Structure 1
Amino acid sequence: MFRSASIMAVLGLSALPALAADPPKVRYKTVKVGELDVFYREAGPKDAPAVLLLHGFPTSSHMFRNLIPALADKYHVIAPDYPGFGSSSMPPRDKFAYTFDNLAGVIEEFTEKVGLKKYALYVQDYGAPVGYRLASKHPERVTAIVVQNGNAYTEGIANDFWTPIKAYWKEPNNKEKREALRPFTKLEATKWQYTHGAKNVEALSPDAWVHDQSGLDRPGNADVQLDLFLSYGSNPPLYPKWQEYFRKHQPPVLIAWGKNDQIFPPAGAEPYKRDLKTIEFHLLDTGHFALEEEGDTIAKLMRQFFATHVK
């Protein structure tokens, strides 16, 4: 019987290229936090430095589906879904108050349940107010922060996008102000968040916004999101506290910001420079969900940054 190499030689074929090493396997898990089931994605060695990825609106850990395996050969990467998002529990609004304080409380307990004692943070959109609550409460746990269109300064919400939301903050019992925000939970708005500011819309997979919209279209979820729009008004009063955390504890920070974002424009990225001494700053030519178009770039920037600052 011929050996395979001999057969190939007879047929005049060159040797086959070696197969690439298998990418890190992502595990899809759920843990109990009180009465809630918190879903999360996890990959990488458990004894490696940890990275906690915190998603924005209206998505879930799904936004990190490509970033996780790009980091998991060297890092223990974990990305949870908040209550009311993705595959985590969505308790009724009369059983669970959808506020940023409560989301942060759930994620804080989640980190303890899964054994994260120290971690680098990745914060985007809603991930910033959740993550900065954790960081300012437990600064000793945070090794570094990656900020991708996540706000901590009034300059970042001074644009026209926020006008109807701020109007709701001023009149929280005004049904018209609340209902004026309901279109933000519809498919057109979800798709717009992904496509606005993108260099090449044809390069974006519609799977992203279709996946997010399936969560928003669950009965009752639109009102969950309207509650969180109102609760976002609790964040600006905390900005001075978060900025003091930056100044006092000086976490190493990597800014990788989609500069064409109309929700959190670059005006919200620039002020980080005022308070941080160890900061690497990049404005990327893309929009709000920068990972969709610049995921490879962001992964490379993170690996380089972590090599110096996360051990």
Structure 2
Amino acid sequence: MATIYYRNIPIDGVKVFYREAGTQHAQTIILLHGFPSSSHMFRNLLPTLAEHFHVVAPDYPGYGYSECPSVEQFTYTFDHLEEIIEKVVSALKLPFFSIYVQDYGAPVGFRLAVKHPEMIEGIISQNGNAYQEGFTSFWDAARPFWSNRNAETEKPIRNLLTQESTIWQYTHGVRQKDHISPDAWTLDQLGLNRPGNAEIQLALFEDYRTNPESYPQWHEYFRRYQPPLLAVWGKNDPIFGPDGAEAFKQDLPQSEVDLLDTGHFALEEDGDVIAQHIIRFLTTRKPA
């Protein structure tokens, strides 16, 4: 079993936490987590992948064990999160790598890919959306908030920060709820409950509107560079539906789509299956 290292690195005055394993391997995978999670979501995936790859899983500022500066001290946008991850990549001297993106990890990872296409060897999207087709009715409450943020339009967004909502994200659409460790949502909720964290999450959710606006740029990157892409997707996800996985084929006709009978946090129930998909995909496919 590979050794996991738990490390911190200062980036622009913010302590960024990351997990690292498999440093003896030539190929690197950067694991980019979603909301409201952290690198903890990769706790079981890391040791398996580390037998074949060098793996790095950072926590964004405001998440997990990274520092949590206030919204007055740090600009919480997806552009800024990408810049932080880009600087982590530079500090660790990683010239080439694949990215695993889930939920919020998609807008971070795809921004990075657009800026540095020469670095990207492959993409694994696990419920990491890049197409309008992926949006479900979950997002209906977001649009009023995006167009006119006020106390009333904030209410449904603040409801996403409750323990009930966090548990729902982990358990909706799974085959068996007793497959899902309560450690996952408990740690996430501890992070959400930190003083000032609600404002951080509201800021990022407000900025999420910039992601659909960026889709055409991401699609152009896909078409031009044809990165090998594996979409391994919990098909019962109430947030990003399976049409979002199939949509990658519009611009990446050679992409591979595997739909799993589980929910948004597919690693919790099908981590072993996903690990084997990744190992096969990255060891048999080569960058275009």
Q: Distance in 2 between matches of 1:68 and 1:302?
A: 12
Question: Could you report, residue by residue, the CA deviation over 1:54-92 in whole angstroms, capped at 9, with x for unpaired residues?
Answer: 000000000000000011012100000000000001111
Q: Deviations over 1:197-252 (max 9, x none)?
A: 00010111111000110100101111111111101001011000000100000000
The higher radius of gyration belongs to: 1
| C-alpha deviation, 1:50, in angstroms | 0.4
Aligned to 2:139: 162
- In structure 1, stretches of 5+ residues that fail to align are 1-22
Cα shift at 1:189: 0.3
TM-score for the superposition, normalised by structure 1: 0.91
Where 2:160 maps in the other structure, the secondary structure is helix
Partner of 1:13: none
How far apart, in 1, do the equivalents of 2:65 and 2:273 lie?
Answer: 28
Match of 2:79 in 1: 101
Deviation at 1:310, TM superposition (A): 5.4
Which residue number in structure 2 is paired with residue 71 of structure 1? 49
TM-score (norm 2): 0.98
- Structure 1 runs (4+) greater than 4 angstroms displaced: none
Q: Give the equivalent residue in structure 2 for 1:271.
A: 247
Are 2:184 and 1:208 equivalent residues in the alignment? yes
> Identity rate of aligned residues, in percent?
52
Which amino acid is 2:72 matched to? D
**CA distance 1:204–1:47, change in 2 (3 Å):** closer
**Residue 273 of structure 1: CA displacement?**
0.7
1:308 to 279, 284, 287: 284
Letter matched to residue 96 of structure 1: F
1:235 alignment partner, SS class: helix
Question: What SS does structure 2 have at the residue aligned with 1:74?
Answer: coil
AA paired with 1:272? F
The separation in 1 between residues aligned to 2:153 and 2:95, in whole angstroms, is: 42
1:87 matches 2:78 = no
Which residue of 197, 208, 213 corresponds with 2:173? Answer: 197
User: Equivalents in 1 of 2:7, 2:23: separation in Å?
Assistant: 15
CA distance in 2, matches of 1:302, 1:24: 17
Letter in structure 2 aligned against 1:164 = A
Structure 2 unaligned residues grouped into runs of 5+: none
Q: Secondary structure at the match of 1:269?
A: helix
In the alignment, which residue of structure 2 is the partner of 1:299?
275
Q: Which amino acid aligns with 2:88?
A: F
- How far 1:45 sits from its partner (Å)? 2.5
1:75-117 superposed Cα distances (whole Å, 9 cap, x missing partner): 1000000000000011111111111111111111111011111
Matched, 1:225 2:201: yes
**Residue type matched to 2:74 in 1?**
F
- Aligned: 1:60 with 2:9: no
Distance 2:241 2:129 in 1: 9
Q: Is the Cα contact below 8 Å between 1:143 and 1:309 reproduced in 2?
A: no
Over residues 254-290 of structure 1, what are the superposed CA-to-partner deviations in whole Å (9 max), with x where a residue is unaligned?
1100000010011211110111033111000000000
Moved more, 77-86 or 262-271: 262-271
Matched to 1:193, the amino acid is Q
Secondary structure of residue in 2 paired with 1:283: strand
> How many residue pairs were aligned?
287
* CA RMSD of superposed structures (Å): 1.0
One-letter amino acid of the structure 2 residue matched with residue 81 of structure 1: D
**Does structure 1 residue 256 correspond to structure 2 residue 229?**
no
